[in-house]
Chains A and B, each alone.
Chain A
Amino acid sequence: MQANEWSLIIFTTVMQMAVGSFVILGGVHFFATRRYGDQAADALSDRALLAIGPVVILAMLVTFLHLGNPLNAPQAISNLGSSWLSREVALAVVFTIGGAIFALMQWRKISTLTVRSTVGLVVAAIGLLLVWAMAQVYLLPTVPAWNSPATIVTFFITTLLLGSLAVGSAFVITYQYLRSKGTLPNTDTQFDILSTTLRWIVLISLVLLGIQFVVIPLYLANLAEQGSEAALASISLILDEGGALFALRLILLFVGAGIFSIFMYRTATSENRTHITGYLAFSAFAFVLISEILGRFLFYESMMRIGL
């Protein structure tokens, strides 16, 4: 493992989490606005939105560590015609700038709700396109372990799963903070938004967990079937050398997105148990984050190229 691959692990995981948070937050805000009006909907989500900013900037900065010659970095978008890496970089930059503009508009309530929603929708679409491009970068015909639809599916699972759980944690923390400060506008409505959001997040997590647990064995079986030297070496890197980490990843994923989530589904609706809900939301997020980082680590570790 080359040290500079850590920067790729962090960049891809964190950027996907940011895109996922943005998308999930958009969805939550959309439904909350329809039911309670935009002012009520803004209370919890505005702060969560601002939390995405530093995360994206961190992810963008980390990529420079991967480059042998960072001074030339601006050149990285000069092959949009054929290089998915170029497209990935360009989309990441556009998503970052677009996200910043949207956050500013939302924070300062610039322009009308419709205009803001449209901007948000466009930025979310760019984010999802970015995740698509990120996956395409790894679909190299010369690397069997990466050249699989599982790469695309897994990247989107990471995006939505980490995004959901991050938004869940951010909502509970914000709710508790605002309530303790006594600045929460309408506590009942806000609690309603919080518990409905958390329950939806649990359902989304369970579905994604289910898909992930189907995709992983299919992916490994398909790789084994290809039977090339590189494919078999990749399997061995995941299951033998990386076996313990792989098992840990699956356990953390199952406990975080599965067990903690189910408990959270039960506690989310009782107002006097919000601190327990908070612990559950945060643990679920932390477990899944570690699991995803381990998964991404194994993804890069399993890189075996055909040929010489």
Chain B
Amino acid sequence: MANKLGFYFNATVCTGCKACQVACKDKSDLPVGVNWRRVAEYTGGEWVTNPDGTCEQNVFAYYTSIACNHCTNPICVEVCPTQAMHQREDGIVMVEESKCIGCRYCEWACPYGAPQFNEEVGVMTKCNFCHDYLDEGKSPACVAACPSRALFFGEIDELRAEHGEIAEIAPLPPADITEPNLVIQPHHNAKSIGSTSGKLINPEEV
């Protein structure tokens, strides 16, 4: 399927302002605790002693804005017992709330934490790529809101042709699990997945 939609995230220009997260929350009126788009803050570093006895620090930090990647191999869709979690022709993965039983199995399975449970209504919710905006010819709310122009969307083949194929950097999971339709321009300090040199410092936000 050639025309699957995906996101492109440029970590070299992201300032971690979280305008994307807030725009998403506002557009879909998400309750407290439910954030379809989140910005992971990954930092590390330490003091190193030089041969001459002086000390230097090598602290680093970078941001990764992440929502659902509308994966080519969506594990959430595979495990959902009701088919509430389903994938459209254009690649958008959505929850059909009238079918969802709120078992939260998709939440266990997705390594990006994309499916988020709405306690009030007892069903799963997640990024729907602002398909209503797309129909009106507009950009998804997160993309439109980014003041640094770090976030784009488009047909994944084009995004890959233009920006490369990288889809895994710490703290993201390996890309081969779900084959996310995501392209990342890594920050110059980006660590490879599974690296222990840094850690996610805002786990309560993602």
Contact = CB atoms under 8 A, between A and B. Distances in A.
Contact of A308 (B83, B109, B172, B196): B172
A15 to B, nearest CB: 16
Given A79-B82, A308-B38, A308-B172, A142 B110 contact: yes
Contact of A68 (B123, B200, B206): B123
Contacts of B172: 307-308
A142 B82 contact: no
Given A67-B103, A69-B123, A307-B112, A79 B80 contact: yes
B171 A308 contact: yes
A69 B108 contact: no
Given A79-B80, A83-B78, A142-B173, A68 B109 contact: no
Contacts of B121: 68-69
Interface residues of A, number: 30
Interface of A: 66-70, 72-73, 75-79, 82-86, 89, 137, 140-143, 228-229, 303, 305-308
Interface string B92-134: 0000001111111100111111000101011110000000000
A68 B102 contact: yes
A75 B113 contact: no
A137 B84 CA distance: 18
Interface in B49-69: 66
Contacts of B111: 142, 305-308
A217 B106 CA distance: 30
A228 B99 CA distance: 35
A140 B81 CA distance: 14
Given A76-B81, A85-B80, A308-B38, 16 more contacts: A67-B101, A67-B103, A68-B100, A68-B104, A68-B117, A72-B102, A75-B82, A76-B103, A78-B81, A78-B82, A83-B80, A85-B103, A137-B105, A307-B112, A308-B40, A308-B113
B109 A140 contact: yes
**Which 6 pairs of residues, A with B, have the shortest CB-CB distance?**
A68-B102, A307-B173, A68-B122, A307-B111, A86-B81, A75-B82
Nearest to B119: A68
A69 B78 CA distance: 20
B79 interface: yes
B75 interface: yes
Interface in B149-172: 171-172
A69 B173 contact: no
B48 interface: no
Contacts of A142: 75, 108-111, 173, 177
